[in-house]
Amino acid sequence: EIVLTQSPGTLSLSPGERATLSCRASQSVSSNYLAWYQQKFGQAPRLLIYGASSRATGVPDRFRGSGSGTDFTLTISRLEPEDFAVYYCQQYGSSTFFGGGTKVEIK
Partner 1 sequence: QVQLQESGPGLVKPSETLSLTCAVSGYSISSGYYWGWIRQPPGKGLEWIGSIYHSGSTYYNPSLKSRVTISVDTSKNQFSLKLSSVTAADTAVYYCARPGYSGGWSLPFDYWGQGTLVTVSS
Sign of CA dihedral 12, 18, 23, 24: negative
| Least distance to partner 1, CB of residue 77, Å | 22
The nearer residue to partner 1, 19 or 35, going by C-beta atoms, is: 35
Per CB under 8 A, residues contacting partner 1 are 1, 33, 35, 37, 43-47, 50, 56-57, 88, 90, 92-101
The nearer residue to partner 1, 13 or 47, going by C-beta atoms, is: 47
CA distances from 52 to 9, 17, 91 (A): 20, 22, 9
Taking the mean position of all CA atoms in its chain, how far away is CA 62?
13
- Nearest partner of 104 among 91, 88, 55, judged by Cα: 88
| Least distance to partner 1, CB of residue 14, Å | 25
The nearer residue to partner 1, 37 or 63, going by C-beta atoms, is: 37
Phi, psi angles (nearest 5°) of residue 72: -130, 150
| Least distance to partner 1, CB of residue 34, Å | 9
